Every structure is written in structure tokens, then in C-alpha cells.
Amino acid sequence: MMADRVGQKRNMKKNKYFTTGFSNGSVNGWTGWTPLRDFLSRRHVHRRLFLRHIIGISVVYALTYFIVLPAYCKNKPSSFYYDVRGNRDRDFRYAIQLNQNRLREDQRHIETLNPQTTRQKYDNNNANVHMAIGVITVDRSKHKKSPSNPKYLTQVLSRLDQGLTQQSLGHINKIFICNVDSKPNDHSEARELSRYFPMVTKSAPNVESELTLHRKDIGLRARLSKEKEDYVFCLNYSRSYNSKYVLLVQDDAIPEDGFYERLNYLLENKLERRYVQGRFISNRGEWAFLKLNFPDPLAAFPRHWWFVCEGIAIAAFAAGIVANVYETFYRRKHRELSVKWTYFILLVGFLYFGIASHLIGRQYFIHLREKSNYFYDIRPGTSCCIPAVLYPSAIIPNITNYLLMTNLASPYPVDFALADFVTFAKMQQYITFPNLFSHIGLFSSLHVSTVGSVQF
């Protein structure tokens, strides 16, 4: 008996450190060590939570990228999910119809104007002109693929007149037509609108130059050279207004609503002066020009290092909100979750919103800034493009001299030459975002082919 009791006590003492990982303390007669039980229990909990999170995240990713975004973006031309080739004909018809609707509206506005009063308003007969706006135009009705005369010039001049009339801000501004067509007298639309707006005409080229423009071997080279000469001509003429700024607009770039007020805000608060430490100071940095349009297809996140930074900022901001909500309303109610789970959600959210924003397209995030003038900003410019460009008048002589010099050396597009000038002069170029002008041209003045209807 005594021996049995001693044996039982010895066994109890031996088994003191052993328990099962289950509630009844044993499984098939075997017991477990207490730390091992806790470790296995924690592993089981963490495995269950990990699987729960992974399943939830996978469901959200799948729903977003395979159901929600394809349905939301099917009619958004700049998104990843848009079928450009499949919708090309439909988009072209839609662009033609949209142009006709705009044209009807703008023709009605032009008809309400008094030719004599309007012409006198924009004639070069004032001092202290704030901005001279020149519209470079050629006759686009001669384009082989144009079903009819699109009359872009009518739309541009109508929108410019409305914008300057409604938002003059007490400034004296001028508009003029710069007719650079190779046969200026055949440009009937420009001649008709010259009743309302002053027009300057570039001398017609001689017969040899006209034939050169249509030679297949050097046709594009000759057209690029002419384009640069035309641009220089219009820039030089704009100096006769003695204005503070010159805005050169192509005849297929229409201004957005409120363009002048927003442009003036950018000039006063971003270029002429800057807001530093609670006060405005004069901005002494020299800038060559400010581009007011950037094509949507080239505005995607991967296209420029600054655009990439914007995408990272969008993803980080959205992921931070999601991680904060997770921390506040979920993790604190489940004490078994460590703070590492919040960081995990932050990382997953960053990837989720980064991919989603890229698939949707940067262009549609930029449009959110159009809600207020204060959301408009400027960024370092690129070599493309020049539908609408604002120049300080003082810099124009340097630009025209450089363009003529490069034209003699090697004809190439004006926008590339302007970008080279910035490097050569060690100055800055900027671009507005969102755009203040929209490129509506389907029929290029340089090429026989049409411009993609979803590209601009």
C-alpha cells in the first residue's frame, strides 16, 4: 500500500508539467506540456485569422478587378478595360456628332454678335493689353477624310469670346486670327469670321514651295518646316499688341469653361508669385512658357516620373484610410490580433488602390480637380504638345530666333524645338493640370490620316 501511494505521488509529480491541448486534459491517455499547448493554440488562432483575411482580400480583389471595374470602365476611353479597336467606328461617329452639336451652339453665339462692335473690341487699338490670343488656322475642309468642314475655328473663337466676355477680370484682352493656310484666300471660314475678329494673313508660298509640300519623298519634312515658320510668323505678329502675355492657340483647341479665371489664378499664385510661410513672395524664376493642354493618352501614370508620384500618393492616401478604419473598428475589438495585422492591411491596401487607380486611368482622377480654381496647379512640362501655349511677351524674340535657327538646321516638330529651347536657355517650362483647353481635332493639318477619336 505504501509503495503504491509513493508510486502514485511520483507519477503525479512527473505529470505535473503535462496537460493536453484539449479541454479534458488528455487524449487517448496522453497529456501535453502547457507551453506547447499555448503555442499550438496560438498557431491555430493565427492560422484561422490569416486564412480569414486572405479569403476576404481575395474576394475583394476578384470582385473589383473582374466585375466592378470592367463594368464601371467599359465606356471610359482612357481606362485599361476600354476596347479601343472594337469601339473605333462608334467613337468616330460619336466624335462627329459631338462636333456638330458644339458647332450649332457656337454658330448661334457668333450670329448674336455685332460684327462692327466685336471687331472694334478686339482691334489692336489699346494700350496696357494684358493678353493677346492668336488662333493659328488652316483650311481643314480640304482634308481627304473629312466628311464635311468641321469648322473648328468657329468653335474656338466662339468659346474664347464667351470666356473673355464673362471673365475679363478688368483686363484688356485681344483675339486675332492668324491665317497660315498655303492658299489663304481659299480659307472661307477664316474670311467669314474676319468680319468679327481681326485677321492677319501669311503670304502665300510660291509655286515651288507649294509643290514641295506635296512631294511624297520630302513632304512631311517640308510640312514640318512650314509649320515652324507659321508658328514663328504668328508669334512675331502677336508682339505688335505689346501685351504682357501671348496665348497661341491652334484652331482645334477649345477652351474649357472658366479657362481665363483659372489661368489668371495660376499666373498670380504659381508663376508671378508664390505662397511661402504664410505670405506671397515674388517668383523670380524665369519660365519660357506654360502649356494649357496635355493629351489624355499621354497622361497615364507610367508616362512621367511625376505622374508615378501622383499614383503613389493616391494609393498611399486611400490605403492609410482603410488601415485606420481597420485599426479602429476591428483590431481593437479582437485583442488576439497584433499591430502587425494593421501594417499588413496597409500594404495590401496600397497594392489594391495602386493597381485599381492605374486600371481606371490617371485622367479621371485629374478631372476631380476641376471642382475649384484652387485645385488647379502646374507641373514641369514635357516635350509634347502645343494646342495652347502661353508665353511671356518678353521671351518671344529669343524663342522665334531659336526656332528659325533649328528650322534651317533640321526641320522637326515645333513642340520638340520648344523643349530644346528650354534646355538651351536654361529656363523652365510648365503645364497646367487639369487641362484648360481640349484638343477636338480629328483631321490633322500635317498628316493625311485622322487623329484617334478617343485620343484627345
The phi, psi pair for 117, rounded to 5°, reads -65, -45
265: three-class secondary structure by DSSP: helix
Give the pLDDT of residue 40: 47
Give the pLDDT of residue 4: 56
Say how far apart CA 345 and CA 173 lie, in whole Å.
54
30: three-class secondary structure by DSSP: strand
Question: Angle 140-141-147 (CA atoms, 0-180°, nearest 5)?
Answer: 120
With residue 199 as reference, give the H or E element that holds it: strand 199-201
Give the pLDDT of residue 149: 78
Give the pLDDT of residue 112: 93
C-alpha grid cell, residue 2: 505504501
| Strand-by-strand arrangement of the 287-291 sheet | 199-201, 173-179, 131-137, 245-250, 388-392, 287-291, 428-433, 377-380
Give the pLDDT of residue 27: 45
Which 3-state string (H, E, C) describes 31-75?
CEEHHHHHHHHHHHHHHHHHHHHHHHHHHHHHHHHHHHHHHHHCC
> Cell 494649357 maps to which residue?
292
Radius of gyration of the chain (CA): 33
pTM summary value: 0.78
455, exposed or middle or buried, with CB in 10 Å at 0-12, 13-18, 19+? middle
> Which contacts (CB < 8 Å, 24+ apart) does range 83-91 have?
84/452, 84/454, 87/454, 88/452, 88/453, 91/453, 91/454
Name the residue type at position 349.
G
Give the pLDDT of residue 216: 45
pLDDT tens, the chain, 456 aa long: 555 554 555 555 444 444 444 444 444 444 444 554 544 455 555 677 778 888 988 999 999 999 999 999 888 888 888 877 777 777 778 888 888 899 999 999 999 999 999 999 998 777 789 999 999 999 887 655 555 678 899 999 999 999 999 887 889 999 999 999 888 888 899 999 999 999 999 875 543 444 344 444 446 677 788 888 899 999 999 999 999 999 999 999 999 999 999 999 999 888 887 666 666 666 656 889 999 998 887 888 887 788 888 899 999 999 999 999 988 888 777 776 778 888 889 999 999 999 999 999 888 888 888 888 889 999 888 888 899 999 999 999 999 999 888 766 566 788 888 999 999 989 999 999 899 999 887 765 554 445 554 444
